[in-house]
């Protein structure tokens, strides 16, 4: 299955945009600011989470509209979609075949991930950014991972709120919250561990050239252990937050052959490792569910050899791919098989 009959209504600079007759490779071409990435962002909302820009719902609504928007697509005979109701601007609504559903429900139909220029600093950025990325990759393999992450974050926020209050919190109430954290946190750890193990195996099957081979390591921020949280309540209360647990996990990445941490590698080497992980994950995500990969301005920053290798591996991954670019030249190897849209002023016109 693949996404088709895609519609954007009142989304950013797209008043009414329709994309039909999609293929394995789908190319959005246009000048900077034309609305190409806006299409990718809309597609990213067909998965659990806040989308590739992590923007608030009101920011995504067209400035010319009423504050709402709608994004829809078909997976064979199944229609999935998400919308923002101006009457409830902070709540994203989800529809599957016309019936209201949860965002987690979208993940049960579609495995969706992306790579954008903003992610180029992933290895040098915060551990929180890598955790979110890791969890998004895990959701693409197991939709239930999103539910575990949401439950853990909600319980963690409540524990931190109680610890930061002036009055000493009720220990029995904390016991209950920490039990919830332990249950959801254990599931989070299991999902992250399974993902990293699967990626390590998939990466081992990929040739080292022309992309760098990354070695991955799961770095624990602490166990999902209610007894440890109970013992550390006084310390955490003094800090005003929970200092240990799965919310402090991190992903360690080292460049194979150099034994050098990713954050000390060159920008080009970091990009090559990021693409290698993305390719390995694309193959994993395509097992069992429809899989979609969004690549924003990726080809323009690769030399011809790496571009051709990228397209060749994606063609055999079983994943539907959406790419953006300012011109078609970098995509010459796939132009004969790609669906191409020219994007300008928030409108998309099919070119082939």
Which tens digits make up the pLDDT trace of 40-79? 999 999 999 999 999 999 999 998 878 899 999 999 899 9
What residue segments make up the domains of the chain, in order of their start?
Answer: 3-350
Contact of 94 with 105, CB cutoff 8 Å: yes
Residues 280, 115: Cα–Cα separation, whole Å = 13
For the segment 200-214, the average pLDDT, to the nearest whole number, is: 88
For residues 24 and 291, give the distance between their C-alpha atoms in angstroms, rounded to a whole number: 10
- Cα–Cα distance for residue pair 160/234, rounded to 1 Å: 12
Q: How many CB atoms lie within 10 A of CB 205?
A: 8
What lies within 8 Å, CB to CB, of 85 at 6+ separation is 68, 91, 93
How confident is the prediction for the chain on average, in pLDDT? 94
Distance CA 106, CA 51 (A): 13
Q: Return the structure tokens found at 19.
A: 């994309």
The count of residues in the chain is 352
pLDDT per residue as tens digits for the range 298-349: 988 888 998 999 999 999 899 999 999 999 999 999 999 999 999 999 999 9
pLDDT, position 207: 80
pLDDT (average), residues 234-250 = 97
What does the alpha-carbon distance between residue 351 and residue 177 come to, in Å, rounded to a whole number? 55
- Tally of CB atoms within 10 A around 165: 10
Burial category of 249 from C-beta neighbours within 10 Å (exposed 0-12, middle 13-18, buried 19 and up): buried
pLDDT digit string, tens, across residues 129-160: 999 999 999 999 999 999 999 999 999 999 99
Q: How does DSSP assign 305-323, residue by residue? A: HHHHHHHHHHHTTT-EEEE
Q: Which two tokens stand for residue 240?
A: 């005003």
What pLDDT score does 295 carry?
Answer: 97
- Residue 162 pLDDT > 90: yes
**Cβ neighbours of 315 (radius 10 Å):** 15
Please write the tens of the pLDDT for every residue from 184-198: 999 999 999 999 999
pLDDT(205) > 80: yes
Task: Give 170's DSSP letter.
Answer: P
pLDDT at 239: 95
Q: Is 1.20.120.330 the CATH classification of the domain at 3-350?
A: no
Q: Record the pTM.
A: 0.94
Q: Residue 93: is it exposed, middle or buried by C-beta count within 10 angstroms (0-12/13-18/19+)?
A: middle
Question: Which sign, positive or negative, has the C-alpha torsion 73, 75, 77, 79?
Answer: negative
Q: Give tens-digit pLDDT for 80-98.
A: 999 998 888 788 999 999 9
Q: Report residue 209's pLDDT band, with 50, 70 and 90 as the boundaries.
A: confident
Give percent above pLDDT 70 in the chain.
100
The pair of structure tokens assigned to 156 is 């963690």
Q: Report pLDDT for 203.
A: 94
Across the chain, where does the E strand assignment appear? 3-11, 14-19, 25-29, 69-75, 78-84, 92-96, 99-101, 110-115, 214-219, 250-255, 260-261, 290-295, 320-325, 339-344, 347-350
**Least confident window among 13-17, 266-270, 346-350:** 266-270
Residue 94 has what pLDDT?
A: 96
Q: Is the pLDDT of residue 13 over 90?
A: yes
185 vs 205, higher pLDDT: 185
Confidence of residue 115 (pLDDT cuts 50, 70, 90): very high
């Amino acid at each position: 299955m693949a996404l088709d009959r895609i519609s954007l209504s009142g989304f950013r600079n797209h008043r009414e945009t329709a994309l039909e007759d999609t293929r394995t490779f789908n190319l959005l071409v246009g000048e900077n600011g034309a609305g190409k990435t806006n299409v990718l962002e809309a597609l990213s909302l067909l998965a659990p989470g806040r989308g590739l820009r992590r923007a608030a719902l009101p920011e995504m609504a067209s400035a010319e509209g009423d504050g709402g928007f709608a994004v829809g697509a078909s997976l064979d005979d199944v229609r999935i979609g998400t919308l923002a109701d101006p009457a409830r601007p902070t709540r994203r609504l989800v529809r599957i075949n016309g019936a209201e559903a949860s965002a987690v429900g979208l993940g049960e139909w579609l495995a969706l991930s992306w790579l954008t220029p903003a992610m180029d600093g992933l290895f040098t950025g915060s551990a929180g950014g890598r955790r979110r990325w890791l969890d998004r990759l895990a959701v693409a393999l197991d939709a239930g991972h999103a539910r575990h992450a949401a439950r853990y974050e909600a319980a963690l926020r409540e524990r931190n709120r109680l610890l930061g209050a002036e009055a000493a919190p009720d220990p029995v109430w904390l016991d209950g919250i920490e039990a919830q954290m332990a249950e959801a946190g254990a599931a989070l750890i299991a999902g992250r561990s399974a993902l990293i193990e699967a990626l390590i195996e998939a990466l081992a099957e990929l040739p080292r050239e022309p992309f760098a081979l990354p070695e991955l390591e799961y770095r624990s921020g602490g166990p999902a252990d209610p007894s440890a949280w109970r013992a550390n309540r006084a310390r955490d209360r003094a800090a005003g937050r929970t200092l240990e647990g799965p919310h402090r996990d991190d992903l360690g990445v080292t460049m194979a052959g150099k034994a050098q941490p990713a954050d000390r590698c060159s920008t080009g080497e970091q990009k090559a490792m990021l693409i290698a992980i993305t390719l390995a994950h694309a193959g994993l995500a395509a097992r069992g569910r429809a899989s979609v990969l969004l690549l924003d301005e990726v080809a323009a920053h690769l030399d011809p050899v790496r571009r051709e290798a990228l397209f060749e591996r994606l063609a055999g991954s079983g994943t539907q791919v959406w790419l953006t670019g300012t011109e078609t030249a970098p995509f010459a190897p796939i132009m004969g098989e790609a669906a191409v849209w020219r994007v300008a002023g928030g409108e998309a016109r099919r070119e082939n």
